[in-house]
Amino acid sequence: MTIQLLPYHHDLSRLLKAQDPEVWSWFAKNLEQPESVEAMKFELLKTTYRVDRETESSLYQAATEIAALLQINAPLTIYQAHQAFGLNASLVQIPGEVHIVLHGPIQEQLEPTELRALFGHEMTHYVLAEQQDQDLRIMDRMLSALAADRSAHPAYTHSLRLLRLYNEVLCDRGAFDVTRDVNAVVSLLLKLETGVKQINPAAFLKQAEEIFQRGEIVSQSLDHPELFIRAHAVRLWTDLGAESNPIVANILTGHPGLADLDLWEQHRVAQQTRELLDLLFSRPWFRTDATLAHAKLFFADYVPNTTTSYPQPLASAPMNLRITPDSMADYFSYLLLDFMVADRELEEAAFAWGLTLAEQIGVKERFVDVLRKELKLRKSQLDKIERNKQQIMSDAEHQGRAE
């Protein structure tokens, strides 16, 4: 049984490796120092009871069967936490070894299938940590360290949060994959979260569905998605498989404001910005010293892509990003405005070109508002440019050739 990473995992790991290869390499080499492993094992000895294999053979048998389903070939040890409050379980991340800590009266409270789902969830954490050259562990350590720096950009914190939310969704899928019982997975989640012994998972799945029927829902949690989201995500997985990935992504990521983007969404916006610059400079007459100098303020290495021609849609339209639409419209409108006034000698031709592109990328209405607000242009002036924009740009092109 193979646990498939979500698109977000692949996108984020590729981005971190490309943007900070030296930092990535350092964390990969220093992922686990021998002294830290020994410290974790010593902490387990002090704070837990190491469950005996002979006296709890049925518990180990269930765990061993789940490990086999997940193709885990590593030593397995189960612990019972001291002074546990409520029901829970956790995996201690030690390379090449599976250490599962139970919190509270797990065996008394859980049905056999729920217990298997619990082991499936925790062992999926182990599978995720070990596969892809331990990329997920490296990402978590790297983002945790960077986010802890007071001077770090908030995008690192947003990325770490999303990484952990996506991990939990995958581990819930692992719980289902080893049991093939969605009710057992949902029942397990409810018991761990509420402590209630008698659970009706079907009723809670219906309750979760009612929540999503009322409108768009976005997770507000820091590391584990809300319970109704997790239940809904498992149901989507059972019904749609990998086709549920975009739906889950919308639920976890939502539509953040431009100032609240994670690293991957920042990368996508930067990519679209460069694409929009290529569109701007697809008209030779627009490539002046002033406009090109302004482009280098965005990307120091920017050189116009002379193969780009209008009309040429962006790789993914700005309004299709999972970002608050108003903030995206503002960003691209002000970006266009910057270039419209970068070279005053272009005069009306720049505004005609800006209106044309604003319409293409879906921000024309906002762009017109920005022009009127920032440049105090009257509606009659803009209407005149709009009516004659093709002729204005044609004249600019002929003038550029003549020069």
Residue with tokens 């303020």: 297
Above 80 in pLDDT, residue 173? Answer: yes
| 163 vs 308 pLDDT, higher one | 163
113 and 57, same domain (yes or no):
yes
pLDDT at residue 321, rounded to an integer: 55
pLDDT in tens, 238-256: 999 999 999 999 999 988 8
Q: pLDDT-derived band of residue 310, with 50, 70 and 90 as boundaries?
A: low
Instruction: Say if residue 220 is in the same domain as residue 288.
Output: no
Same domain, 106 and 204: yes
Mean pLDDT calculated for residue range 266-280: 91
- CA–CA separation, 313 vs 323, rounded Å? 19
Arithmetic mean of pLDDT, 35-51: 92
Query: Taking the chain, what is the end-to-end CA distance rounded to the nearest angstrom?
Result: 67
Q: Is residue 198 part of a domain?
A: yes
Q: Is residue 267 part of a domain?
A: yes
pLDDT of residue 399: 79
Average pLDDT over residues 269-281: 91
In a domain, 243, yes or no: yes
* Whether residue 311 has pLDDT greater than 70: no
Give residue 316's pLDDT. Answer: 54
DSSP letter at 6? P
- pLDDT score recorded for residue 318: 56
Which of 254, 279, 308 finishes a domain?
Answer: 254
Lowest-confidence range among 127-141, 175-189, 200-214, 223-237?
Answer: 127-141
Q: Are residues 237 and 281 in the same domain?
A: no
Residue 45 lies in a domain: yes
Q: Tell me what the mean pLDDT of segment 206-228 comes to.
A: 95
Average pLDDT over residues 319-323: 57
User: What stretches of 84-149 show up as alpha helix (H) in DSSP?
Assistant: 106-109, 112-130, 135-148
- Mean pLDDT confidence for 265-276: 91
**Amino acid, single-letter form, for residue 59:** L
Asked whether the predicted pLDDT for residue 270 surpasses 60, the reply is: yes
Separation of alpha carbons 244 and 255, rounded Å = 18
Q: Which of 272, 267, 359 is nearest to 314 (CA)?
A: 272
Q: What is the dihedral of CA 102, 41, 165, 241, to 10 degrees?
A: -70
Q: How sure is the predictor about 334, in pLDDT bands with cuts at 50, 70 and 90?
A: very high
Q: Are residues 25 and 122 in the same domain?
A: yes
Burial code (b: 16+ CB inside 10 Å, e: under 16) for 253-275 equals bbbbebebbbbbbbbbbeebbeb
Residue 2 lies in a domain: no
* Mean pLDDT in residue range 31-35: 76
Q: Specify whether 112 is located in the same domain as 200.
A: yes
Shared-domain flag, residues 323 and 285:
yes
What is the spatial distance between Cα 371 and Cα 351, in angstroms, rounded to a whole number?
Answer: 9
Same domain? 87 vs 106: yes
What is the average per-residue pLDDT within 71-92?
A: 93
pLDDT score, position 323: 62
Is the pLDDT assigned to residue 319 strictly greater than 80?
A: no
Q: What is the pLDDT of residue 315?
A: 56
For residue 7, CA distances in Å to 105, 134, 164, 193 come to 37, 16, 14, 28
Q: Return mean pLDDT, the chain.
A: 91
Q: How many whole angstroms from its chain centre is CA 206? A: 27
In a domain, 1, yes or no: no
Is position 165 within any domain? Answer: yes
39 and 168 in a single domain? The answer is yes
Q: Where are the beta strands (DSSP E) in 47-96?
A: 48-50, 76-81, 88-94
Question: Is the pLDDT higher at 3 or at 50?
Answer: 50
Q: Are residue 205 and residue 282 in the same domain, yes or no?
A: no
Boundary residue ending a domain (204, 225, 254) = 254
Q: What is the pLDDT of residue 95?
A: 86
CA–CA gap between residue 48 and residue 84 (Å, rounded)? 10
Query: Which of 60-69, 195-204, 259-268 ranks highest by mean pLDDT?
Result: 60-69
What is the domain extent for residue 191?
A: 7-254
For the chain, what percent of residues have pLDDT higher than 90? 75
> From residue 291, how far is each of 273, 286, 341, 343 by CA, in Å?
15, 7, 9, 6
Residue 401 has pLDDT above 70, yes or no: no
- 370, 233: one domain: no
Residue 131 has pLDDT above 80, yes or no: yes
Same domain, 215 and 346: no
50 beta partners: 79
Rounded-to-integer distance, Cα 146 and Cα 164, Å: 15
Q: Which has the higher per-residue pLDDT, 133 or 223? A: 223
The last residue of a domain, from among 227, 254, 281: 254
Residue predicted with more confidence, 198 or 315: 198
C-beta neighbour count of 390 within 10 angstroms: 10
Of 187, 164, 165, which is closest to residue 176 (Cα–Cα)? 187
Domain count, the chain: 2
Tell me, yes or no, whether 285 lies in a domain: yes
pLDDT single digits (tens) 78-87: 999 998 788 9
